[in-house]
């Protein structure tokens, strides 16, 4: 009995020694000892959750190839699968070993339109530096090309290749709950971030995902929930709860808080252009914290904070509800919001039916007033999808708040309801007149407006407007208008810097003021009547001070010179009123009044 017990204990001990220790750091192979002709192995998942090994041969070390102190180890992959698929998108981060010691991770592939199984390996020493805050930050992984020297190609036995180069292995992106047409429309924008949009992918069952060990698949989730978007690469090294992956930047954003998820590799698709893996997205298991030139680094644990979005679509008496969360980063969050909103709406519009969009919503900003997102959009005769007007309206407000230069906003939620109304709810202004041509300060005028609805009978609407007591004797001009023209004429009133690249106007110096101006934007489904007078208007911060006396202007302009920003316009909107419509209004008409 004692002998049998000893044998059992010995078998258990040997099994424990043979099995890899979960989370244990792998011994590394020094870069200066690597020589051409050395044989090694790499590990990755081609399908399912099994981590497979395949052989490789070292071709040489390219010093400072990817940048200062950023060396690349050039290798040729060997075996039936690499020869069939070439270097595969999603293989980034696959660990490479020489004599059982970790050398680095596959990160670069050879050229384009070729399955030549030549790859570049990021040295493990460079990858370990990615966990440091002062590690180099790189541009998006899919854009930069690294030309290969002729002597390197000759040594590798590669001939008759035009413009040979290495490029970072693409990172395939899986989409869950997305229409193929929507993926196609946004694929080019994703490619600018080094992401390869791949058709296919879904939600992985927990028992089908790969282990988070070297060679296993791991995903970085840009969107989670009823819609999901995740980029997949390979785990290179694990140290306890810390993971190193990819071997090159994912987005090149530096410090990040990007959800880490498990993944299942459905299959590997061979292609002459670029072979790729199709992945299913698993559960969130942690957060990637660094996105550096040589690797992405994350930790197992709680999920990072994201921007929660709730979208409700109402159409033909029914409704659909979507709840999802988007990754928080000023360079890509606006794109992700536009992407997901358009995808949610697209399901209701793919039939080609002419629809009008009425939106109601709020963006909840912690510590500030909500941003009101109410508006209405009618279809146009252009080929461009009308739903983009909705997406750009909501996405534009989100971009201005999320990328503001004053403080880092905490977006607690975006709640949006989009009602899809059949047919075109639109009208144009044909004519307008006032019941008086001469007025006194304090009097009320009634302005009648003739509207021509789209393919409908004309109708007349009346808007009352009081002439302010401060109106000076002389000529007044009354504008009967849609929201677009009135916003344009008073652009600095409503939102300076609305157009990308212009920055914020001198009036805005806080997020609170920015939100206040956003909420004063005029709506497309209202008829506006405004009284203009040639008199100076002073803009101080988010305050509009019309018809300012010169004495007060001198004082306020002196304060502006002392650091309180202001701006002056040489006309004043003395009063404004509006009436709600059930149509999107376009057009304008000017009237003249005389103040006695």
Lowest mean pLDDT among 76-90, 183-197, 419-433: 183-197
Instruction: Return the bridge partners of 287, or none.
Output: 259, 299
Confidence of residue 562 (pLDDT cuts 50, 70, 90): very low
Rounded to whole angstroms, the Cα distance separating 77 from 176 reads 32
Instruction: Please give the model's pTM, rounded to 2 decimal places.
Output: 0.84
Domain spanning 24-282: CATH 2.40.10.10? yes
Lowest mean pLDDT among 176-190, 458-472, 561-575: 561-575
pLDDT at 185 over 70: yes
pLDDT at 23 over 70: no
For residue 148, the model assigns a pLDDT of: 80
In terms of pLDDT, which residue wins out, 117 or 384? Answer: 117
For residue 358, the model assigns a pLDDT of: 96
For residue 134, the model assigns a pLDDT of: 64
Residue 125 makes CB contacts below 8 A (sequence gap 6+) with 28, 31
Residue 563 makes CB contacts below 8 A (sequence gap 6+) with none
State the sign of the Cα–Cα–Cα–Cα dihedral 495, 417, 230, 282: positive
Sheet with 566-569, side-by-side order of all strands: 543-545, 537-540, 566-569
pLDDT at 262 over 70: yes
Quick one: DSSP state of residue 168? E
pLDDT at 368 over 80: yes
pLDDT at 455 over 50: yes
What token pair was written down for 377? 């959009």
Q: How far is CA 208 from CA 21, 50, 88, 224, 570, in A?
A: 21, 10, 21, 19, 69
For residue 546, the model assigns a pLDDT of: 56
What token pair was written down for 152? 């390197």
Strands 242-245 and 228-239: what pairing? antiparallel
For residue 571, the model assigns a pLDDT of: 65
For residue 144, the model assigns a pLDDT of: 79
Lowest mean pLDDT among 213-227, 316-330, 433-447, 495-509: 495-509
| Tens digits of residue pLDDT in 373-398 | 999 999 988 777 888 889 999 999 99
Mean pLDDT over residues 155-168, rounded? 73
For residue 498, the model assigns a pLDDT of: 35
Confidence of residue 25 (pLDDT cuts 50, 70, 90): low
Query: How many C-beta atoms surround the C-beta of residue 493 within 10 A?
Result: 19
pLDDT at 160 over 70: no
Query: What single string gives the DSSP state of each residue in 468-517?
Result: PTTPPSEEEEEEEE-HHHHHHHTHHHH-TT-STTS---TT--SHHHHHHH
For residue 497, the model assigns a pLDDT of: 39
Mean pLDDT over residues 480-505, rounded? 60
Q: What are the b/e assignments for 62-94, b being 16+ CB within 10 Å?
A: beebbeeebbbbbbbbbeebbeebbbbbbbbbb
Query: How many C-beta atoms surround the C-beta of residue 41 within 10 A?
Result: 17
For residue 496, the model assigns a pLDDT of: 40
Strands 438-439 and 588-595: what pairing? parallel
For residue 143, the model assigns a pLDDT of: 62
Cα angle for residues 577, 578, 584 (degrees, 5° grid): 155
Quick one: DSSP state of residue 437? S
Rounded to whole angstroms, the Cα distance separating 359 from 416 reads 7
For residue 139, the model assigns a pLDDT of: 54
Rounded to whole angstroms, the Cα distance separating 303 from 224 reads 11
For residue 135, the model assigns a pLDDT of: 60
In terms of pLDDT, which residue wins out, 115 or 98? Answer: 98
pLDDT at 563 over 60: no
Mean pLDDT over residues 203-219, rounded? 90
In terms of pLDDT, which residue wins out, 592 or 556? Answer: 592
Query: What single string gives the DSSP state of each residue in 447-463?
Result: EEEEEEETTS--EEEEE
For residue 588, the model assigns a pLDDT of: 96
Confidence of residue 370 (pLDDT cuts 50, 70, 90): very high
* Dihedral of the alpha carbons of 399, 387, 453, 428, in degrees to the nearest 10: 40
Mean pLDDT over residues 399-427, rounded? 95
Residue 269 makes CB contacts below 8 A (sequence gap 6+) with 275, 276, 277, 278
For residue 509, the model assigns a pLDDT of: 84
Helices and strands (H and E) in the chain: how many: 11, 34
For residue 559, the model assigns a pLDDT of: 47
**Whether the Cβ atoms of residue 326 and residue 223 lie closer than 8 Å to each other:** yes
Confidence of residue 567 (pLDDT cuts 50, 70, 90): low
Nearest to 69 by CA among 126, 140, 139: 126
Query: How many C-beta atoms surround the C-beta of residue 129 within 10 A?
Result: 20
* Residue matched to tokens 């413009």: 163
Averaged pLDDT of the chain: 84
In terms of pLDDT, which residue wins out, 165 or 454? Answer: 454
Query: How many C-beta atoms surround the C-beta of residue 381 within 10 A?
Result: 5
Confidence of residue 514 (pLDDT cuts 50, 70, 90): very high
Rounded to whole angstroms, the Cα distance separating 314 from 340 reads 17
Nearest to 44 by CA among 87, 15, 108: 87
pLDDT at 424 over 70: yes
Rounded to whole angstroms, the Cα distance separating 173 from 429 reads 48
pLDDT at 399 over 80: yes
pLDDT at 11 over 50: no
**Whether the Cβ atoms of residue 587 and residue 539 lie closer than 8 Å to each other:** no
Lowest mean pLDDT among 68-77, 324-333, 441-450, 499-508: 499-508
Confidence of residue 535 (pLDDT cuts 50, 70, 90): low
**In the chain, domain spans:** 24-282, 307-422, 426-595
Rounded to whole angstroms, the Cα distance separating 581 from 429 reads 12
Confidence of residue 215 (pLDDT cuts 50, 70, 90): very high
For residue 386, the model assigns a pLDDT of: 86
Q: What are the b/e assignments for 345-375, b being 16+ CB within 10 Å?
A: bbebbeeeeebbbbbebbbebeebeebbbeb
Nearest to 43 by CA among 214, 281, 265, 294: 214
What token pair was written down for 216? 């296993």
Nearest to 41 by CA among 127, 85, 93, 103: 103
Quick one: DSSP state of residue 206? G
* Dihedral of the alpha carbons of 209, 213, 216, 222, in degrees to the nearest 10: 70
Per cent of the chain over pLDDT 90 is 59
Rounded to whole angstroms, the Cα distance separating 240 from 24 reads 6
pLDDT at 434 over 90: yes
What token pair was written down for 6? 């000893």
């Amino acid at each position: 009995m004692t002998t049998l017990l000893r044998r059992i204990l010995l078998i258990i001990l040997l099994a424990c020694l043979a099995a890899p220790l979960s989370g244990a750091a792998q011994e590394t192979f020094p870069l200066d000892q690597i020589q051409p002709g050395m044989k090694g192995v790499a590990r990755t998942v081609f399908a399912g959750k099994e981590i497979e090994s395949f052989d490789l041969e070292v071709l040489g070390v390219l010093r400072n190839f990817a940048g200062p102190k950023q060396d690349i180890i050039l290798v040729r992959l060997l075996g039936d699968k690499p020869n069939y698929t070439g270097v595969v998108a999603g293989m980034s981060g696959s660990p490479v070993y020489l004599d059982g010691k970790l050398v680095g991770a596959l990160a670069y592939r050879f050229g384009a339109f070729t399955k030549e199984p030549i790859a570049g390996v990021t040295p493990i020493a460079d990858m370990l530096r990615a966990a440091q805050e002062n590690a180099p930050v790189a541009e998006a992984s899919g854009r930069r090309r690294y030309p290969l020297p002729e002597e390197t190609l000759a040594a590798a036995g590669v001939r008759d290749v035009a413009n040979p180069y290495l490029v970072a292995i693409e990172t395939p992106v899986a989409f869950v709950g997305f229409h193929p047409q929507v993926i196609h429309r946004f694929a080019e924008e994703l490619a600018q971030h080094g992401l390869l949009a791949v058709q296919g992918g879904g939600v992985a069952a927990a028992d089908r995902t790969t282990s988070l060990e070297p060679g296993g698949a791991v995903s970085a989730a840009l969107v989670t929930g009823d819609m999901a978007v995740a980029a997949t690469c390979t785990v290179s090294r694990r140290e306890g709860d810390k993971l190193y992956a990819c071997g090159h930047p994912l987005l090149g954003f530096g410090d990040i808080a990007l959800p880490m998820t498990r993944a299942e590799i459905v299959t590997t698709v061979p292609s002459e252009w670029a072979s790729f893996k199709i992945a299913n997205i698993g559960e969130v298991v942690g957060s990637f914290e660094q996105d550096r030139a040589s690797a992405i680094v994350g930790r197992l644990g709680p999920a990072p904070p994201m921007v929660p979005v709730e979208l409700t679509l109402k159409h033909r008496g029914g409704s659909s509800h979507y709840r999802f969360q988007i990754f928080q980063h000023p360079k890509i969050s606006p794109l992700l919001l536009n992407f997901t909103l358009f995808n949610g709406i697209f399901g209701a519009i793919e039939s080609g039916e002419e629809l009008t969009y009425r939106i109601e919503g709020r963006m909840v900003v912690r510590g500030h007033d909500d941003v009101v997102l109410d508006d209405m959009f009618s279809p146009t005769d252009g080929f461009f999808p009308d739903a983009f007007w909705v997406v750009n309206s909501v996405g534009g407000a989100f971009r201005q708040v999320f990328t503001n230069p004053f403080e880092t906003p905490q977006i607690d939620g975006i709640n949006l309801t989009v009602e899809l109304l059949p047919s075109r709810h639109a009208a144009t202004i044909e004519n307008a007149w006032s019941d008086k041509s001469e007025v006194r300060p304090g009097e009320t005028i009634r302005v009648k407006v003739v509207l021509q609805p789209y393919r409908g009978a004309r109708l007349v609407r009346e808007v009352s407007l009081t002439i302010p007591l401060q109106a000076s004797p002389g000529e007044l001009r009354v504008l009967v208008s849609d929201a677009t023209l009135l916003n344009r004429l008073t652009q600095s009133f409503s939102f300076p810097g609305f157009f990308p690249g212009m920055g914020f106007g001198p009036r805005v110096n806080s997020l609170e003021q920015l939100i206040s101006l956003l909420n004063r934007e005029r709506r497309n489904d209202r008829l506006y009547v405004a009284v203009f007078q040639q008199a100076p208007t002073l803009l101080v911060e988010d305050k509009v001070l019309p018809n300012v006396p010169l004495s007060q202007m001198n004082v306020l302009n002196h304060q502006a010179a002392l650091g309180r920003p202001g701006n002056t316009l040489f006309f004043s909107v003395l009063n404004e009123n509006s009436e709600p419509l059930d149509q999107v209004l376009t057009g304008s008409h000017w009237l003249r009044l005389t103040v006695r």
